[in-house]
């Protein structure tokens, strides 16, 4: 499952049974806080991380990096940054989902090259990407370009539709990308009989220093992973009808708590 190119031919050929299996998988995933000490087999871990790689990302820039905290002392050092959450000690591994603030210089040309080689980059699209991506991502020396964008984006928005600019809120952009990889990871882990817990309860700066991760990486989510300790984990969800809204909205009371 590690090939770097994948093709899908539309229309999708999925059988209804695939959806039923997926629904069962989605419901079987539980945020798990107690783990057995048993290690995660390397072959399963590799497949789970590969599922993370196949998550979508904006412009296919693939900014999400996953650091593996396996060493017990390293995990112990991380716990205080997570307000003492002990699942990090119990699980044999913690995956650290981080976003690369320098993804534009790091990946853009490589991704263009790969897409071109795969016959997936018409000239007009490449030209568009070469215009849009630097505009959206580059902060310039001393953040000067970002400062200019911060002034002009709201003015431009008065006249023209203007999307959010990653250069102005990189953490937000990186978090969106990383969460998609994280979800793939959690579902793949569930399919492999493993358990996970996504964690945002940590101090980013302290976690980065405890794990000795370079500053260019923004830590976005921690995810202990391992075999669940015996026990039943039950969860509830609000009714779908209160969370899904047909547009245009007729009953505006739905927007009130």
Looking at the Cβ atoms of 170 and 221, the one nearer to ligand FMN is 221
Q: Per CB under 6 A, which of residues 101..160 are in contact with ligand FMN?
A: none
Looking at the Cβ atoms of 198 and 226, the one nearer to ligand FMN is 198
Sole binder of ligand FMN in the list 78, 199, 210, 219 (CB under 6 A): 199
Distances (CA, A) of 248 to 168, 197, 245, 253: 31, 36, 8, 13
Count of chain residues binding ligand FMN (CB under 6 A)? 10
Contact between 85 and ligand FMN by CB under 6 A: the answer reads yes
Burial class (CB in 10 A: 0-12, 13-18, 19+), 45: buried
Find the helix packing angle between 16-28 and 170-191, rounded to 10°.
100
Q: How far is the CB of 77 from ligand FMN (least distance, A)?
A: 17
Structure tokens at 235: 């969860």
Distance from CA of residue 31 to its chain's centroid?
17
Sole binder of ligand FMN in the list 156, 169, 200, 216 (CB under 6 A): 200
Give the residue from 190, 202, 90 showing the smallest Cα distance to 182. 190
Q: How far is the CB of 197 from ligand FMN (least distance, A)?
A: 5
Q: How far is the CB of 201 from ligand FMN (least distance, A)?
A: 3
Contact between 33 and ligand FMN by CB under 6 A: the answer reads yes
Measured from each CB, the residue nearest to ligand FMN is 201
Which range of residues in 27-35, 88-96, 135-143, 203-211 is near ligand FMN by CB under 6 A? 27-35
For 173, phi then psi, to 5°, come to -65, -45
Structure tokens at 256: 């009130």
Give CA–CA dist 219/99, Å, rounded.
Answer: 7
Looking at the Cβ atoms of 73 and 237, the one nearer to ligand FMN is 237
Secondary structure (3-state) at 17? helix
Residues 45-74 as x/- pattern, contact with ligand FMN by CB under 6 A: ------------------------------
Structural Rg of the chain based on CA atoms = 21
Please give the DSSP secondary-structure letter assigned to residue 228.
B
Looking at the Cβ atoms of 76 and 117, the one nearer to ligand FMN is 76
Give CA–CA dist 54/144, Å, rounded.
Answer: 34
Contact between 30 and ligand FMN by CB under 6 A: the answer reads yes
Which range of residues in 55-63, 67-75, 100-108, 192-200 is near ligand FMN by CB under 6 A? 192-200
Sole binder of ligand FMN in the list 198, 210, 211, 218 (CB under 6 A): 198
Secondary structure (3-state) at 200? coil
Contact between 75 and ligand FMN by CB under 6 A: the answer reads no
Give CA–CA dist 103/63, Å, rounded.
Answer: 5
Site residues, ligand FMN (CB under 6 A): 30-31, 33, 85, 197-201, 235
């Amino acid at each position: 499952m590690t090939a770097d190119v994948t093709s899908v031919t539309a229309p999708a050929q999925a059988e209804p049974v695939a959806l039923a299996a997926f629904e069962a998988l989605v419901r079987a995933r539980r945020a798990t806080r107690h783990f057995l000490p048993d290690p995660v087999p390397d072959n399963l871990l590799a497949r789970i991380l590969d599922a993370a790689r196949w998550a979508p990302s904006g412009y296919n820039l693939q900014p999400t990096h996953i650091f593996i905290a396996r060493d017990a002392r390293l995990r112990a050092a991380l716990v205080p940054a997570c307000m003492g959450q002990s699942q990090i000690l119990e699980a044999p591994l913690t995956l650290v989902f981080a976003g690369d603030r320098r993804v534009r210089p790091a990946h853009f040309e490589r991704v263009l090259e790969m897409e071109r080689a795969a016959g997936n980059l018409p000239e007009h699209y490449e030209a568009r990407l070469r215009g849009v991506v630097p505009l959206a991502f580059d902060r310039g020396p001393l953040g000067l370009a970002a400062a200019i964008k911060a002034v002009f984006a709201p003015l431009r928005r008065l006249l023209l539709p203007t999307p959010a600019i990653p250069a102005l809120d990189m953490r937000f952009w990186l978090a969106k990308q990383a969460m998609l990889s994280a979800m793939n990871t959690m579902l793949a882990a569930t399919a492999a009989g493993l358990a996970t817990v996504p964690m945002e309860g940590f101090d980013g700066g302290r976690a980065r220093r405890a794990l000795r991760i370079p500053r260019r990486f923004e830590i976005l989510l921690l995810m202990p992973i391992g075999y669940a300790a015996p026990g039943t984990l039950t969860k509830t969800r609000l009714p779908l009808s209160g969370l899904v809204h047909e547009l245009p909205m007729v009953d505006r009371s739905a927007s009130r708590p």
